[in-house]
Amino acid sequence: MQVIVDRTGPAIHRTLSELDPENCVEFEREFHQAMAESDDDFDLDRVQKVINRYWAVACAAANPAPYVNEVLERIKNGDESVFGEEWRPQADGTNHVYRRNAEGNWAFSHVLRPGDQ
């Protein structure tokens, strides 16, 4: 079920304060700065840009893709296979590069020689 976040300052602030406090602090800072600048010339475009940018952040926080949390947890637990490429050092100084294939298995891709990196 998708959570709808209204494209308003209060709705964005409420969502971010509950689900993404770090971005909430940035939203508050940018919003106040845009409001102060708009006070001089009555141009609210910069305020609307802040609203639009952080609305997307709030929507993502309210509706995280399930696999994102799974991948983050795997990375925290040291599973580097999620990165999709693995270099295996060889005795001759080269690296054999393996990539994930369509089945999710490692498959040899190419040899990376010193200086190619």
pLDDT digits (tens, 9 = 90+) for 40-57: 899 999 999 999 889 888
Separation in Å, CA 67 to CA 1, 46, 71: 15, 34, 6
38/86: higher pLDDT: 38
Residue 33, pLDDT score: 97
For residues 43-54, one letter each, b for 16 or more C-beta atoms within 10 angstroms of the residue's C-beta and e for the rest, the string is eeebbeebbeeb
